[in-house]
Chain A
Amino acid sequence: MIDRSFTIFIWLMAGMVLFAFGWLISDVVIQGASKLSWQFLTDEPTRSGREGGIYPIIVSTLLILMIALVVVLPLGLGSAIWLAEFSRKSSRRVRTTRLILDVLAGVPSIVFGLFGYAFFCGFLELGFSILSGGLTLACMMLPILIRTTEAGLSAVPQDWRKAGAALGMSRTTLLWQVLLPYASPAITAGLLLSIGRATAETAALIFTSGYVDRMPESLNDSGRALAVHIYDLSMNVVGGDKASYGSALVLIVMVVIINLSASTLSEFWLEKKVSRLK
């Protein structure tokens, strides 16, 4: 009897979540689909975005994301590998690093925005630019990526490290051939999580990459990200709702595409190397 009611309860909870999610998606799709057209994707916005398309905004978004990824991937994977494999786990330095990362992962994005504004835009004199925005996003993504990657690597059984060492194998070989491939689902999940956070980011970008909706001519130009565009259309532009929904739909599709390609790539490069029976 208890089991039965508990099962019903669990189903109900899961159902509610699915329902909310379904509603959200269908709302965006239904409202945004009418706006969606080839022209919407390839035109410049006119009348503050009420009309025209979002081409420059898509380009800015991708550029910002690209800069963030170029910075985050080597730094994040490198630090995670250092933390998980090459550092003494109990040392004060490592524990402090972990603590700082955990705090940073929970810091509200507006704080990162403020930091980016002061440091990248101001101190480094990059101004409101795609570069500043990308670098600020990188700061935001780093702690998430590092901690998830580290957790993934730490979850790999110690047995294989011992086996590798006992065979006189270098830690680098073991890392590339066994540990990283085995941990790759966790790494990919961390990457997707941080990409998700980055593409959804508005607060930090208003401060750093700005909201100029023209086509950026270089990385030093200001560029408006999709999330900023959606925010602007729905909050500041009367009559911008339709375009806002259209942009939201584009953003969702973009995130799905990025997620799919990231998991496919990681599968292709790393995951297929190992088998995970047992």
Chain B
Amino acid sequence: MSNSPVKGNAYTLGSIEQGEPCCDPIPHFSINNLAVSYHNETVLSNVSLEVYKGCITALIGPSGCGKSSFLTALNRLSDMVAGAEVSGDIVFEGENIFDASIDVRALRTKVGMIFQKPNPFPLSIRKNLELPLKEHGVRNKSEIESKIFDALQSVGLWDEVKDRLQSSALSLSGGQQQRLCIARALILEPSVLLMDEPCSALDPISSGIVEEMIQRLAGRYTIIIVTHNLAQARRIANYAAFFWMKERVGKLIEFGQCRPLFESPQHSLTAAYVSGEMG
């Protein structure tokens, strides 16, 4: 861990210098002046921040303030959305992901994504994990087997499903499905996981299991998680970014270490939101 204060992000209102850095603040994503618009209507503008390697960064804020739009820009899933336009720079592992030379499919194997609603394919549990592997050129049977084992182990699902890998993924419970989806992303050995409210469609117990698992994955992976559950953000995140809508455009209001952001926010909006007075 480094003791030197992290460079302040001039463009955010909060200060990142408060407190000790909670993990090595090596930027994994450097986002500069990002804006997203749908059909020429800006929904997010002027977002600049750095996402640190191996840390959990929570994106908080009310619905509709552009958190999910921000997230989908990071793996360029925004390309899929009709009418979506993204401007600004996102530098990931030294390359701007909007460069023409970027292989988007390769980018998405490095930056995995988990959605709000578990979305396993309507195939067997095994096939769900096999399909992305085969798609990216892994053909060796024993290699596939061991990767499936590793992926299911790391989401704590192996013991639950090892006897029924052939059965449908849709026969799993919601929490199990979500963990399978995380395993499916992990099997491609990404370095980043983007999570869009991964627990919000789950019951409290499944949600707890998934949350615990996310905490275990931190360190090995850089995790960016959108959550509406402030208590959850506070429990698991190292860094937090607070988004808010100003004049119908989402803005990043404050970014910093999670604890200071919650305990001594620099911006009055943040203070009002985290205390529950607003939002």
Tell me whether A236 is interfacial, beta carbon within 8 Å: no
- A178 within 8 A of partner (CB): yes
Q: Could you tell me the distance between the alpha carbons of A81 and B188 in the complex, rounded to whole angstroms?
A: 28
The residues of B that contact A167 with a CB separation of less than 8 Å are 108-109, 112, 132, 135, 184-185, 188
CB distance from B122 to the nearest CB of A (A): 4
Give the A-B pair count, Cβ closer than 8 A. Answer: 84
In the complex, what distance in Å separates the CA atom of A276 from the CA atom of B171? 10
Residues of B within 8 A of A163 (CB): 115, 119-121, 181, 184
Binary CB contact string for chain A from 152 to 196 against chain B (1 if under 8 A, 0 otherwise): 000001011111111111100100011000100000000000000
- A132→B122 CA distance, assembly (Å): 42
Q: Indicate whether A89 reaches chain B with its CB closer than 8 angstroms.
A: yes
Give the distance in Å from the alpha carbon of A173 to the alpha carbon of B132 in the complex: 10
- Residues in A with CB closer than 8 Å to B132 are 167-169
Closest residue on chain A to residue B122 by CB atoms: A274
Contact A160:B121 (CB < 8 A) given known A168-B136, A170-B105: yes
Say yes or no: B135 contacts A278, CB within 8 Å. Answer: no
When chains A and B are docked, how far (Å) is the Cα of A88 from the Cα of B82? Answer: 8
Contact residues of B between 228 and 247, Cβ < 8 Å to A: none
* A90 CB within 8 Å of chain B: yes
A168 with B77: in contact, given A90-B82, A274-B123 (CB under 8 Å)?
no
What chain B residues lie within 8 Å of A157 (beta carbons)? 119
Cα distance A168–B76 in the bound complex, in angstroms: 11
Q: In the complex the two chains form, is A168's CB within 8 Å of B109's CB? A: yes
Please tell me if A277 contacts chain B, counting CB pairs below 8 Å: yes
Interface: A96 (CB within 8 A):
no
Chain A residue with minimal CB distance to B135?
Answer: A169
Please tell me if B272 contacts chain A, counting CB pairs below 8 Å.
no
Q: Are B123 and A273 in contact (CB under 8 A)?
A: yes
What are 28 A-B interface contacts by the 8 Å CB criterion?
A88-B82, A89-B82, A159-B115, A160-B119, A160-B121, A162-B77, A162-B80, A162-B115, A163-B120, A167-B112, A167-B135, A167-B185, A168-B104, A168-B106, A168-B132, A168-B135, A169-B131, A170-B135, A177-B123, A273-B123, A274-B121, A274-B123, A275-B122, A275-B123, A275-B168, A276-B122, A277-B122, A277-B171
